[in-house]
Amino acid sequence: MTSTPTGSAAYRELRAQLDALTTEAFRPELSEIDRLPTEEIARIMNGEDATVPTAVAAQLPRIAAAIDATAERMARGGRLIYAGAGTAGRLGVLDASECPPTFNTDPGDVVGLIAGGPSAVVTSIEGAEDRKDLAAADLDALALTADDTVVGVSASGRTPYAIGAVEHARAQGALTVGLSCNADSALAAAAEHGIEVVVGPELLTGSTRLKAGTAQKLVLNMLSTITMIRLGKTYGNLMVDVRASNEKLRARSRRIVSLATGASDEEIETALAATDGEVKNAILVLLGGVDGPTAAHLLTNSAGHLRAALDSSNSPTE
């Protein structure tokens, strides 16, 4: 990729755009931070991080609205798709990759797209973030539908890849969310649901993997987790759709059934055996007094919502 000459009009325009971004602002009071003792730098950084949850809290109504709209579409079979570049893209890939083991979702239900493709997770792909057409092509490769939700993620709110993803998705009738860390961003303006978590200038000028990255991680946690709660992937605060793919998760599965039912170890083992290890089904067997096949049938009829299935079993839930 060729660099833009520093004297060109394009360079001056880009410089002006960056100067106007809160996330890119220079903080003169930290200009000699490298001279401070390590513990003092850590104290300053910790204080900066502590301001992030307050910034997220200011956007909770917008976050909640986006979650409700997303859950409605996913209940119809839609997907949750994140699209971003650099740190923002990596955070989307991370959140998507954690949904299958946590909520037993299909890997295709929550997808993370990063500018430049999978290799960009560990290697910078020069120029990929500047192309809207790449975002459109990545979404087309997923056969985007109107039931899908596309979340463009960009700290600056001006990354072409993220904006291009939202614009293309919106044109296809999909739900769109724009998550950025600057006010009045182009990304939020392009999306139906704009979420702007303004965390202020970074400790290191322009290093948006810091506060901005933390803010984006917190919001993505909410988007996926609360959407899954709305979809019946939990029972109270228990991960009843957890996928027991290793010894730790198998032990967690048994503990979840125990916490939900208060049953003995022997009863839990019998219920899990009768339901092929499915935690939600095993809980329904124990609390609803039904057999494995009936539990599966009730859960299918209740779209996977355990509380509704328990009501259908006509058995007490306590």
pLDDT tens by residue, 230-264:
999 999 999 999 877 788 888 999 999 999 999 99
Mean pLDDT score of the chain, rounded to an integer? 92
Work out the widest C-alpha separation in the chain, in whole angstroms.
Answer: 76
CATH 1.10.8.1080 region(s) of the chain?
A: 247-312
Give me 10's structure tokens.
């394009």
For residues 38-67, give the mean pLDDT: 97
CATH 3.40.50.10490 region(s) of the chain?
A: 52-230
202 has catalytic annotation:
no
Q: Is CATH 2.30.30.100 the classification given to domain 247-312?
A: no
CATH architecture of 52-230: 3-Layer(aba) Sandwich (3.40)
**pLDDT for residue 61 is more than 80:** yes
Tell whether pTM > 0.75. yes
Residues forming beta bridges with residue 194, ordered by sequence position: 178
Confidence class of residue 196 from pLDDT cuts 50, 70 and 90? very high
Catalytic residue among 13, 24, 40, 129: 129
For residues 84-108, give the mean pLDDT: 95
Give me 245's structure tokens.
């793919």
CA-based nearest residue to 114, from 93, 99, 143: 93
Catalytic residue among 98, 192, 267, 269: 98
Q: What is the pLDDT of residues 197-242, one digit of tens each?
A: 999 998 898 889 999 999 999 999 999 999 999 999 999 999 999 8
278 has catalytic annotation:
no
pLDDT computed for residue 9 by the predictor: 67
**pLDDT for residue 88 is more than 70:** yes
